[in-house]
Amino acid sequence: RNYAAGDARRDTAFSVLFVVGNLGAALSGLLVSSVGHEYGWSYGFALAGAGLALGLGAFASMWRSFPRTPTSQTPAPLTKVDRQRVSVVGLTILLVSLSAAAYDFAMTPLLSTSANIDADRLGLVESMTVLVLALPLAYFLAACRRRGRKSSSLLKIAIGILLTAFGVLSALPFMLDRTLGTTLSWGWVVFPLLTAVGTLLIVPVSWSFVSKLAPKRYASTTMAVFLMATSLLS
């Protein structure tokens, strides 16, 4: 609702949202895990709860300033175009959710076989990789737009899914031989690098894409279904 149809800033806004989320995950890996290891996990989780409360408080203090679209008392039925859009949105949600599930499937053996990196530290590595790559990727996409090589949302999502797939394939040696995860090797570089770039292309772009295609009456519901489907498949 903050951006008109065709406004390129919508994709950027979702990218900022995703990067800030990973910033929170990185801080969690630094602060919460450090407090948990040093003083006990009850204090670590309490710190996470305090951060969540601060975030909800900030949202509650500003939500009245968000623009609102008046809703009709008698909503019009979905048109043929709306139903076609819903089909595309459903397929997008399925593909993105399956990609997220494949990523989690590959991450599990890396966590279970790692003798040198704690699970919370590995999550920190993942988030930091996203943060480091976000700005160069944004500059690259902006340069492509300036040269008239603007890529469609579906193409970005497809490339992101392929990169994630290659990242998952790079984890196959760890899945086949559980002893490989006990030492640092190329897998610890290739896997987070490919999946981080893939995630940067998939998640914010798919959020933006779904928000643009979903019928206005069901925009919020569609986004909720999207997030729930990803969570359930993971």
pLDDT digits (tens, 9 = 90+) for 146-159: 777 777 778 888 88
Q: Distance between CA 50 and CA 62 in Å, rounded?
A: 19
At 8 the pLDDT is 65
DSSP per residue, 117-181: S-HHHHHHHHHHHHHHHHHHHHHHHHHHHHTT-PPPHHHHHHHHHHHHHHHHHHTHHHHH-GGGG
Between CA 44 and CA 233, with CA 20 as vertex, the angle to 5 degrees is: 75
Kindly give the parts of the chain with pLDDT less than 50.
Answer: none
- pLDDT tens for residues 221-232? 888 888 888 888
One-letter amino acid identity for 3? Y
Contact present, 157 and 89 (Cβ < 8 Å) = no
- pLDDT tens for residues 110-167? 655 555 556 666 667 777 878 888 888 878 877 877 777 777 778 888 888 888 888 7
Pure H helices in the chain: 9-27, 33-39, 41-62, 80-113, 119-146, 153-170, 172-176, 187-213, 219-233
